[in-house]
Chain A
Amino acid sequence: MIPELGNFLLIFSMINSLLLISIALVFPPKDKRFFLSASLVTFLAIFLSFIALEISFLTDDFSVLYVATNSNPNLPIYYKFAALWGGHEGSLLLFLLILAGWILVFVFFHRDHKHSSAFMNIVLFALLSFTVFLSNPFERLLPISSISGSDLNPLLQDFAFTIHPPMLYMGYAGLVIPFGIAMNFLLNQEKVKQLAPIRSWSVVSWSFLTLGISLGSWWAYYELGWGGWWFWDPVENSALVPWLLCTALIHSSIATNARQIFINWTIALTILSLAGSLLGMFLVRSGIITSVHSFALDPDRGIFLLLICFVIVILGFSLFFLKSYSKGLKTDMGIYSKEFMFFINNAFLVTLSAIVLLGTIYPIIYEIFSGGDQITVGAPYFNMVTIPFALILLFFQAIGPLTKWGGNKIDNLNSIGMIILSSTALSYLVSNIFFSFSFYEFVGNAIVLMLIQSLTLLVFKSFHSKRKINLSMIAGHLGLAILTFGITISSLNSVEKEFVLQKNESVSVGSSTITLENTQTVQEDNYYGDRVTFSFQEEDRVLKLYPERRFYPASRMETTEAGIYPSIYKDVYISLGQKIGENAWAAKVQIKPLVRFIWLGAIIMFLALFVRTNIKFK
């Protein structure tokens, strides 16, 4: 009964959303409270439908097909709750819930927008109908025999996994809001001020995307057992593309708000970033590419999702070209002005996202034109083409905040010169003394030092003048600097070694010694396996690591759990290979300096969301 109720509520919210669109576009209501109440009803209906599916999961109702394929009576209760978004249908429902929530929040704060919520509801309605007709999570499996349910993918039975999708969806769904605002602006051609909320909403989206992506990266680091934190996997890329576009959107909308420039460009970016987000959803859910994330699906669903994506992009661009804004456009900017810095920022970010997108779909293009040959585009391509662009971008990130709007000479010339000189010199020394010198080490550290100095200078200046300071920007940029530092040091100075050890045998890695102490078997509710104890001795310190190999009987999957000793200076990371004999194991050890800085930086970037944008110290 409860699943039927959930299904009914989902259909109800779909009709409600369609009604809101048609009423808003055909008979715009005078009373602006209409949108608020309609959005509230849609949200509540989806929320209750979500609760209905949760009840089916928590009560092990295996007559529901989706529950039967994603849950198991032995699963701990917390994972039963989170198993709802472990598969295609449920995660789509979670996405819809978040999207409806964002729309409600938007309508609550911006009741003067005539059509924004209608355009957001077009996206909501399209995905709702896709869920109801082609991916219904409430589908029953009747009649039913003694079925005990299959299992949540063991790789996903993990804390980071359970909060990774909700965070990421907060970001993806958030990109619908700027799109709605931009479309409303094009349709009504009111004051440019109407575009102002794009800035805060793109920051909201961006923060959650940052958090979601870094949680995914953290999860991959300790769960996949390879010791990497970024694999240029198609799904990672399809989250990175909207993230880059959203970063561009934040900057472009800041320029639009402050100087009324880049108006059409900001609008185009809202369309592009939503397109990136929907295209990512298509790539993951259509099964067109294979990766840990992809849900194996039939092509019918893929075609429908692709159609949704296509229609929304075409709708956006048609409105953009038919009604593009042309009242008093300003285009002049000096090359020493802040405007020009934002232009560089946008040009590089959009180019970067195009490069990543091309690399991601290139195997598809190649397969079509070569008549079925398959290739993969791997990390070497992405590293080679993205790193130089990223470094140049970061260089301008250090200089940009020190420039002035409308400036026509280099402001702060002395400071900028000092920052560049001192950073380069210091980095040259540091790279030589503490690390074996390499070009990327030198450039990476120099840029990190420039970023930190330029941010410090900004904070320092605002203490001594009455100028306002954007602390949110400081936090975001500082986070990126720390992340860049973590990437530079950990990728260039990691040590790794593969070995086979018997019980009580040792092997030395660098200045430290690893000993296999003992092996034992483990047995839990939902898996069993082997756990090996290694001791890692470095000078006087002895660490214990406990890597495991697990077997999950319900889904017949074998996984490796890396043994990790985390610390702020360096991580020691051991992953088990094959069992060789009675007490012997093949294993791999990796020592990764400062790898934690990557996620520390990402968390600081996320926290930028909660910091005030205008603060006066005096």
Chain B
Amino acid sequence: MKIYPLLTILLVISLFGLLFFQLFLNSGIEEFDQKKLAPFESNLLNGDSFTSEELKNNSLSLLNVWATWCVGCRLEHSYLMELEKKGISIIGINYKDDKEKAFKWLDQFGDPYSENIFDEKGEVGFLLGVSGAPETFLIKNGDSVVMHHMGVLDEQVWNNKFAPLIDK
């Protein structure tokens, strides 16, 4: 008779154990297939022009898609400021937004971006395969996308998805 309690507890523990294990597995580093970056040209928020050729000057560049209408961008903003303080240069892509509002936002919350592409109609976003904001890309040698993160960038995402690629 004593076998049933043992069996039940064993079954319960193994079922829950599997689910726990899977949760930890999911939070690990994700594999990502590299993709070629489509070349683009656009204006910056300050009016200067910008081409993707300029990205080739750095071995790694971080592109962050943001907008003032986007709640998630407001959430990740403080973390972007932290990254900037750590000396990581971030190129912003102001996506389908209003120029005046964008400047007001940067004045109010701080400007973590080294440069800011003004993508008023979402053309650059289209070439990059952006589906919304916020999204963050890691570009290697100015021509290949090694990471494309959709959603808010926070410390956990950074440590899991971006830091290992940068340390390599």
Interface segment among A190-198, A309-317, A532-540: the answer is: A309-317
- Among B8, B16, B27, B71, which residue has its beta carbon within 8 angstroms of that of A149? B71
- Among B5, B68, B132, which residue has its beta carbon within 8 angstroms of that of A321? B5
Residues A299 and B101 in contact in the complex (CB < 8 Å), given A141-B71, A145-B108: no
- Among A146, A148, A303, A314, which residue has its beta carbon within 8 angstroms of that of B23? A303
Any B CB within 8 A of the CB of A361? yes
Residues A150 and B71 in contact in the complex (CB < 8 Å), given A306-B23, A313-B12: yes
Residues of A within 8 A of B16 (CB): 306, 309-310, 313
Q: B12 contacts A306, CB within 8 Å?
A: no
Q: A368 contacts B18, CB within 8 Å?
A: yes
Which of chain A's residues 120-171 have a Cβ closer than 8 Å to chain B?
141, 143-150
Residues of A within 8 A of B57 (CB): none
Q: B64-75 vs A: 1/0 string, CB under 8 Å?
A: 000011110011
Residues A302 and B21 in contact in the complex (CB < 8 Å), given A141-B74, A309-B16, A321-B8: no
In the bound assembly, the distance between CA atoms of A556 and B70 in angstroms comes to 12
In the bound assembly, the distance between CA atoms of A365 and B16 in angstroms comes to 11
Residues of B within 8 A of A145 (CB): 68, 74, 104-105, 108-109
Distance between A220 CB and nearest chain B CB, rounded to angstroms? 23
Residues of A within 8 A of B68 (CB): 145-147
Q: B12 contacts A314, CB within 8 Å?
A: yes
Residues of A within 8 A of B26 (CB): 287-288, 299
Q: B9 contacts A317, CB within 8 Å?
A: yes
Q: B23 contacts A288, CB within 8 Å?
A: yes
Residues of A within 8 A of B18 (CB): 361, 364-365, 368
Closest to B27 in A: A299
Any B CB within 8 A of the CB of A200? no
Any A CB within 8 A of the CB of B19? yes
In the bound assembly, the distance between CA atoms of A146 and B108 in angstroms comes to 11
Interface secondary structure of B, over-half rule: helix
Closest to B131 in A: A556
In the bound assembly, the distance between CA atoms of A321 and B109 in angstroms comes to 59
Closest to B73 in A: A147
Residues A306 and B71 in contact in the complex (CB < 8 Å), given A314-B12, A317-B9, A321-B5: no
Residues of B within 8 A of A555 (CB): 132
Residues of A within 8 A of B15 (CB): 361
Distance between A450 CB and nearest chain B CB, rounded to angstroms? 36
In the bound assembly, the distance between CA atoms of A286 and B8 in angstroms comes to 25
Residues of B within 8 A of A498 (CB): none
Residues A296 and B20 in contact in the complex (CB < 8 Å), given A147-B71, A313-B12, A367-B25: no
Residues of A within 8 A of B25 (CB): 367-368, 372
Any A CB within 8 A of the CB of B22? yes
Residues A556 and B132 in contact in the complex (CB < 8 Å), given A306-B16, A309-B16, A317-B8: yes
Closest to B98 in A: A146
Any A CB within 8 A of the CB of B32? no
In the bound assembly, the distance between CA atoms of A272 and B8 in angstroms comes to 11
Closest to B156 in A: A298
Any B CB within 8 A of the CB of A487? no
Residues of B within 8 A of A68 (CB): 71
In the bound assembly, the distance between CA atoms of A296 and B152 in angstroms comes to 12
In the bound assembly, the distance between CA atoms of A317 and B26 in angstroms comes to 29
Residues of A within 8 A of B8 (CB): 317, 321
Any B CB within 8 A of the CB of A206? no
In the bound assembly, the distance between CA atoms of A144 and B12 in angstroms comes to 46
Please list 9 pairs of residues, one from A and one from B, whose beta carbons are closer than 8 Å in the complex, sorted by A's number.
A287-B26, A288-B23, A299-B24, A313-B16, A317-B5, A361-B18, A364-B18, A364-B22, A556-B132
- Known: A146-B104, A306-B20, A309-B16; 19 extra A-B contacts, CB below 8 A, are A143-B108, A145-B74, A146-B68, A147-B74, A150-B71, A286-B23, A288-B19, A299-B27, A302-B23, A303-B20, A306-B16, A306-B19, A310-B12, A317-B12, A361-B18, A364-B22, A368-B21, A372-B25, A556-B132
Nearest 3 Cβ contacts at the A-B interface: A321-B5, A299-B27, A310-B16
B residues with a Cβ closer than 8 A to A are 4-5, 8-9, 12, 15-16, 18-27, 68-71, 74-75, 101, 104-105, 108-109, 131-132, 151, 156
